[in-house]
Chain A
């Protein structure tokens, strides 16, 4: 049966791995390629690289990193961060990325999703959505969660599905960095309102949080960064615990 995926997220700045708490205060957590290879060996199911650098060399640095990652690992990986054109996507896929994630650029120009799905196929287009609750309503936010919009999370999710997205990566800004668990209610609703695979992001602190994201939140995958990077949760142990709880996970013999 199709298994639930565990996805370490590597935030990348200028070719190095970083992780911010609530997207600010960055701490260095190592070399992305070495970290990626280590996670692949620990049976992470997939990796996400999120590039947060804002330099002119950004594209070239990222494309180069993608190539090095593709050469080193044999599990799928997604690349995101500032992707806004067909050319951006073409070079990343050409260098070996399996999927790309688009976020702010898609909110500003929703037709980008149609164009990318048409050109490259839905299977490689992940739409990342950062949202937080404002007066009880889940509102989509831009630029790493700093800028609120009027868009409702669920309406936007349905729209991106219509436009050809192949997967949703939902980050709750209310939960990100808190280590208090994922936004399970909103996650479950995303699975009801769309028919796309959903990656849960934001809030992982312990193993129970992952099982809750899969059972209560009905997520297809759960993403986390610092709990993995700083060794607070080891992926083999996490997967064994999930398996004991009858949650389908991949454990290669």
Chain B
């Protein structure tokens, strides 16, 4: 069973449909016990970091998430919130991964919206996904390269498009919206030893 953490931050329907297409049973929940017991956890996220963190704190999920032992996949804002701090609203994240989230600057358009190629994938999440494969992204803030970076992309320079620390995985792109390659990534996540 995959627990999708429900904290009112954005659209989880597409993620649920993607899991259904893969035949994975799942539940959308904010119940700490169910999340703790789940084989795997997906931590989605959309919208602003500040209001998302407020919702996590209000429900106590900010305390629970860092203690989880099973494979956890943060998606988009869910990945960013694994970090210590976000420039977006100047909020503290969950602090699982060191480092902070920054806003895209320079001459690029913000948000980055569309399909970008990924490079240097080095996590079991990316099995069968190759250098230069495309994933769909929508974001104005990014995680700079760090020691937990397990795939990079380029937008006004290189940045972390995926992170991994122990059982905590994060992807900046939306696998549920990234066609067959995204589906493969979700499939890989479902195959990680629980």
Q: Closest CB-CB distance, B179 to chain A, in whole Å?
A: 5
In the assembled complex, the Cα of A192 lies from the Cα of B13 at a distance in Å of 36
A83-110 to B contact mask, C-beta < 8 Å, 1/0: 0000000000111111000000000000
Q: Closest CB-CB distance, A69 to chain B, in whole Å?
A: 10
Question: Given the known A-B contacts A74-B177, A74-B178, A74-B179, are A5 and B115 also in contact in the complex, defined by CB atoms under 8 Å?
Answer: yes
Cβ–Cβ contact A121 & B116, under 8 A: no
Would you mind naming 25 contact pairs between A and B with Cβ atoms under 8 Å apart? A2-B115, A45-B114, A46-B114, A67-B13, A70-B13, A74-B14, A74-B177, A74-B180, A75-B179, A76-B136, A76-B174, A95-B13, A97-B11, A98-B14, A120-B46, A121-B47, A122-B111, A123-B113, A123-B140, A166-B111, A166-B113, A197-B111, A221-B114, A252-B134, A252-B180
A176 near B: Cβ within 8 Å? no
Considering only CB atoms, which chain B residue lies closest to A161 in the complex?
B110
A71 near B: Cβ within 8 Å? yes
**In the complex, chain A residues 1-44 whose Cβ is within 8 Å of any chain B Cβ:** 1-5, 40, 43
B3-21 to A contact mask, C-beta < 8 Å, 1/0: 0000000110110011011
In the assembled complex, the Cα of A98 lies from the Cα of B47 at a distance in Å of 12
Q: Which A positions have Cβ atoms within 8 angstroms of B?
A: 1-5, 40, 43, 45-46, 67, 70-71, 74-76, 93-98, 120-124, 166-167, 191, 195-197, 220-221, 250, 252-253
Q: Closest CB-CB distance, A101 to chain B, in whole Å?
A: 13
Residues in chain A near residue B133, CB distance under 8 A: 252-253
Extra 12 A-B pairs, beta carbons < 8 Å, given A94-B11, A122-B111: A3-B115, A4-B114, A67-B13, A95-B13, A122-B140, A124-B138, A166-B113, A191-B109, A195-B109, A195-B110, A252-B179, A252-B180
Considering only CB atoms, which chain A residue lies closest to B135 in the complex?
A250
Cβ–Cβ contact B111 & A123, under 8 A: yes
B154 near A: Cβ within 8 Å? yes
Cβ–Cβ contact B13 & A94, under 8 A: yes
**In the complex, chain B residues 138-189 whose Cβ is within 8 Å of any chain A Cβ:** 138-140, 154-155, 174, 176-183
Residues in chain A near residue B14, CB distance under 8 A: 70, 74, 96, 98
Q: Closest CB-CB distance, A160 to chain B, in whole Å?
A: 14
Cβ–Cβ contact B177 & A197, under 8 A: no
Considering only CB atoms, which chain B residue lies closest to A66 in the complex?
B13
Cβ–Cβ contact B139 & A123, under 8 A: yes
Cβ–Cβ contact B176 & A74, under 8 A: yes
Considering only CB atoms, which chain A residue lies closest to B107 in the complex?
A195
Question: Given the known A-B contacts A74-B176, A74-B183, A250-B134, are A1 and B113 also in contact in the complex, defined by CB atoms under 8 Å?
Answer: no
8 tightest Cβ-Cβ pairs between the two chains A and B: A121-B47, A96-B13, A250-B115, A250-B134, A123-B138, A197-B113, A2-B116, A76-B177
Other-chain contact of A124, B17, B46, B115, B155 (Cβ < 8 Å): B46
Cβ–Cβ contact B116 & A252, under 8 A: no
Residues in chain B near residue A5, CB distance under 8 A: 114-115
